[in-house]
């Protein structure tokens, strides 16, 4: 087989686009996470990172969120410090630290700020902020510490609190001017320098001052670099990640990680002319990438892209592990087709294609829309209407802006402005009218969840008959052909959504095809009083059919309709038993079964 055959490369490129995503799909994914960050920028600064924010949605792709602390400012040197009364000032101390790590020292000898008093640690005459205490602060009971992050047990979400230095640091200065072909261009380099760097709370392992050290993070710049890749580069990078997760990790554990592959891709992209990364050279490009990984592993060298003095492979391999890993990589390089097409990702694509009744499957941005729901802060509703209604059309497609407005409207149906829903005075009717305004907008992209929120409003206002009418409509609409939106929608679901979106538009695709959880959030002014005991955090989610029968049973209870109560309970138990539109999630199941206990007590 001629691996330089351009037609074969083009076919392989097209095949990868179906599995990984076309240029338009990748752009949409990135736009979504840019929107997620903008929605949070004024409340709690947030930076989406990880594979999903890079534009990839592979099997097992994680979503990382970084939260720069807004009231702490880091400077590289004491001499650079500027007066900032509203900030806590720190500066770096690289004495006795490895390249890429630093301690962060207070300008004053003693920390007198109550906000971070518990995070301070004294070493000699100096006071530092402890990275260990910082990353463990406010650890949620359902999260675990994973490196510098607080992560879900499943590992699909990482949250990292971090600190920011607005200046480009000295150890990375050579990166600005070093010799390269044409990538990255000067505009991107200038953007990186103007942004500065982040510090994440983890030290060099087994160092005497490990708990005081912080690692330099260039994740914001790395995301921009990935975004600047040609689509061929991105597909090569994605394929390396698939090989790592599904070929290398099962055999060699964590000897290699995706960050090493990203670093190797950056170095290779500097050396190869951008004109070489093109679809009709896809196979050659993939083999070049694998060959470079083999080279780095063989010589046990993987220099940090921004700080080459930091060798990421230092003391990483033992003799036996090293040889076994090299053997696997050489097999992948020598038998690329066997290795790639036997991965779980490619086998699943083939299997789903067989079961799709001749429908040509292709990845879409569907699952990424899920994250807009988990990121919105309702206290900023008016600002978001203004920004996404007028100001962001030059960044996002109009349909994405319109969709975000619909999401904002649905969230604001239960805004914290609406506390008093029982006293029917002038204020009540004014609030009532505003809720209906938001409701009408939300219906542009939603045919079930918004109706259930409106039904709940009627329930809170003791209009039980109207509530039951809406519930019946919602149950009639929860048909098996609906797609349940979550963070791991299948390729078949993505394809159906993509086809409907192309034919009818984004809003109609969501309205008539998608179904989602009913989400209540602080201050829970719409949540039925009978369910308040379920609250454990700032949000409470119910599967839509489960919630419909819960609310139906509560209405029948207040109407003294005993037969209706029993019917609703029977349907609720059947729904739970059959797991109808219930996403397999421990937290969701816990809420479902506790809800069942609550309403059983009413029978």
Please give the span between the terminal C-alpha atoms of the chain, in angstroms, as a whole number. Answer: 71
For residue 357, pLDDT over 80 is answered with: no
Please provide the average confidence, as pLDDT, over all residues in the chain: 88
Angle at 45 between CA 44 and CA 50, to 5 degrees: 120
- The C-alpha atoms of residue 120 and residue 399 are separated, in whole angstroms, by 48
More confident residue, 462 or 426: 462
Most confident of 51-55, 263-267, 427-431: 263-267
- Cβ–Cβ contacts within 10 Å for residue 563, how many? 8
421: pLDDT confidence band, cut at 50, 70 and 90?
low
| Distances in whole angstroms, Cα of residue 255 to Cα of each of 298, 323, 345, 583 | 13, 12, 21, 33
For residue 378, pLDDT over 80 is answered with: no
Relative orientation angle of helices 506-513 and 491-504, to the nearest 10 degrees: 130
Per-residue confidence (pLDDT) for residue 382, from 0 to 100: 52
Q: What radius of gyration, in Å, describes the C-alpha atoms of the chain?
A: 27
Per-residue confidence (pLDDT) for residue 374, from 0 to 100: 47
Mean pLDDT of the 206-216 span: 92
Mean pLDDT of the 140-147 span: 79
For residue 212, pLDDT over 60 is answered with: yes
Judged by average pLDDT, the poorest of 125-134, 186-195, 368-377, 439-448 is: 368-377
- The C-alpha atoms of residue 49 and residue 66 are separated, in whole angstroms, by 7
Cα atoms in the Cβ-side hemisphere of radius 13 Å centred on 558: 18
More confident residue, 323 or 421: 323
Per-residue confidence (pLDDT) for residue 62, from 0 to 100: 76
CB-neighbour burial class of residue 124 (10 A; exposed 0-12, middle 13-18, buried 19+)? exposed
- Cβ–Cβ contacts within 10 Å for residue 538, how many? 11
401: pLDDT confidence band, cut at 50, 70 and 90?
confident
- The C-alpha atoms of residue 2 and residue 479 are separated, in whole angstroms, by 50
Per-residue confidence (pLDDT) for residue 390, from 0 to 100: 56
More confident residue, 296 or 110: 296
For residue 500, pLDDT over 60 is answered with: yes
The CATH number assigned to the domain with range 6-42+234-354 reads 1.10.1410.40
4: pLDDT confidence band, cut at 50, 70 and 90?
low
pLDDT tens-digit series, residues 430-447? 777 888 888 888 888 988
Domain boundaries, the chain: 6-42+234-354, 68-222, 396-600
For residue 30, pLDDT over 90 is answered with: yes
β-pairing, 518-521 with 514-515?
A: unpaired
Residue 160: its H or E element? strand 157-165
520 strand-pairing partners: 540
| HEC string for 209-270 | CHHHEEEEECHHHHHHHHHCCCHHHHHHHHHHHHHHHHHHHHHHCCCCCHHHHHHHHHHHHH
41: pLDDT confidence band, cut at 50, 70 and 90?
low
pTM beyond cutoff 0.85: yes
Per-residue confidence (pLDDT) for residue 2, from 0 to 100: 59
| Distances in whole angstroms, Cα of residue 500 to Cα of each of 449, 505, 510 | 20, 7, 9
DSSP labels, 407-448: HHHHHHTT-TT----SS-SHHHHHHHHHHHHHHHHHTTS-SS
- The C-alpha atoms of residue 274 and residue 577 are separated, in whole angstroms, by 55
Mean pLDDT of the 267-276 span: 94
Per-residue confidence (pLDDT) for residue 375, from 0 to 100: 47
Give the residue from 108, 66, 64, 74 showing the smallest Cα distance to 94. Answer: 74
What is the percentage of the chain residues whose pLDDT exceeds 70?
Answer: 90
Give the residue from 273, 293, 282, 521 showing the smallest Cα distance to 408. Answer: 521
Judged by average pLDDT, the poorest of 114-118, 169-173, 232-236, 564-568 is: 114-118
Please give the biggest Cα pair distance in the chain: 80
- The C-alpha atoms of residue 62 and residue 58 are separated, in whole angstroms, by 9
Give the residue from 384, 456, 443 showing the smallest Cα distance to 414. Answer: 456
pLDDT tens-digit series, residues 66-107? 999 988 899 987 776 766 677 888 889 998 899 999 999 887
CB 81 within 8 A of CB 75: yes
Token pair 């138990």 is at which residue?
Answer: 573
For residue 50, pLDDT over 80 is answered with: yes
Mean pLDDT of the 511-521 span: 92
Per-residue confidence (pLDDT) for residue 471, from 0 to 100: 96
Mean pLDDT of the 197-226 span: 94
And the tokens for 107? 């300008």
Give yes or no for a cis peptide into 523 (omega within 30° of 0). Answer: yes
Residue 75: its H or E element? strand 72-75
Per-residue confidence (pLDDT) for residue 151, from 0 to 100: 82
Mean pLDDT of the 266-281 span: 95
């Amino acid at each position: 087989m001629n691996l330089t055959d351009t037609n074969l490369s083009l076919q392989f490129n097209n095949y990868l686009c179906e599995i990984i995503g076309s240029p338009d799909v990748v752009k949409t994914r990135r736009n979504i996470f840019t929107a997620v960050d903008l929605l949070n920028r004024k409340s709690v600064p947030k930076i989406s990172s990880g594979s999903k924010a890079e534009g990839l949605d592979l099997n097992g792709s994680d979503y990382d969120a970084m939260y720069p602390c807004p009231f702490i400012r880091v400077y590289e040197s004491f001499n650079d410090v500027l007066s900032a009364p509203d900030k806590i000032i720190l500066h770096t101390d690289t004495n006795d630290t490895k390249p890429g790590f630093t301690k962060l020292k207070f300008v004053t000898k003693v920390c007198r700020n109550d906000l971070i008093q518990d995070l301070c640690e004294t070493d000699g005459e100096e006071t530092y902020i402890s990275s260990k205490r910082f990353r463990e602060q406010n650890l949620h009971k359902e999260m675990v510490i994973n490196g510098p992050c607080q992560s879900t047990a499943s590992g699909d979400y990482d949250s990292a609190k971090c600190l920011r230095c607005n200046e480009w640091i000295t150890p990375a200065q050579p990166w600005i001017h070093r010799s390269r072909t044409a990538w990255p261009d000067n505009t991107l380099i200038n953007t990186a320098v103007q942004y500065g760097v982040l510090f994440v709370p983890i030290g060099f392992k087994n160092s005497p001052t490990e708990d005081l050290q912080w690692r330099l993070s260039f994740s914001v710049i790395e995301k921009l670099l990935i975004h600047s890749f040609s689509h061929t580069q991105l597909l090569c990078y994605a394929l390396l990640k698939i090989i790592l997760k599904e070929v290398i990790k099962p055999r060699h554990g964590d000897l290699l990680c995706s960050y090493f592959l990203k670093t190797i891709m950056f170095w290779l992209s500097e050396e190869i002319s951008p004109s070489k990364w093109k679809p009709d050279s896809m196979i050659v490009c993939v083999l070049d990438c694998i060959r470079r990984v083999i080279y780095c592993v063989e010589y046990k060298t993987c220099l940090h892209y921004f700080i080459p003095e930091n060798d990421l492979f230092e003391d990483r391999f033992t003799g036996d592990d090293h040889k076994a890993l090299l053997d696997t990589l050489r097999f992948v390089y020598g038998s690329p087709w066997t290795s790639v097409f036997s991965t779980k990702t490619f086998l699943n694509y083939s299997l789903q294609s067989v079961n799709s009744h001749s429908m040509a499957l292709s990845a879409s941005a569907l699952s990424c829309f899920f994250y807009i729901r988990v990121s919105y802060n309702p206290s900023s509703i008016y600002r978001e209407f203004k920004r996404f209604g007028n100001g962001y059309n030059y960044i996002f497609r109009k349909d994405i802006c319109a969709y975000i407005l619909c999401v904002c409207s649905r969230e604001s149906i239960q805004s914290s402005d609406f506390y008093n829903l029982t006293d029917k005075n002038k204020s009540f009717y004014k609030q009532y009218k505003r809720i209906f305004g938001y409701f009408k907008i939300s219906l542009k992209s939603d045919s079930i969840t918004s109706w259930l929120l409106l039904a709940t409003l009627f329930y809170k206002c003791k209009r039980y008959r109207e509530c039951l009418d809406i519930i019946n409509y919602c149950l009639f609409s929860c048909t098996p052909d609906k797609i349940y939106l979550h963070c791991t929608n299948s390729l078949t679901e993505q394809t159906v959504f993509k086809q409907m979106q192309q034919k009818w538009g984004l809003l109609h695709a969501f309205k008539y095809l998608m179904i989602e959880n009913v989400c209540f959030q602080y201050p829970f002014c719409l949540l039925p009083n009978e369910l308040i005991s379920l609250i454990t955090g700032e949000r409470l989610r119910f599967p839509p059919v489960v919630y419909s029968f819960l609310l139906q049973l509560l209405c029948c209870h207040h109407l003294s309709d005993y037969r209706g109560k029993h019917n609703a309970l029977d349907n609720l138990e059947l729904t739970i038993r059959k797991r109808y539109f219930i996403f397999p999630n421990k937290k969701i199941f816990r809420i479902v079964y506790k809800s069942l206990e609550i309403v059983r007590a009413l029978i």
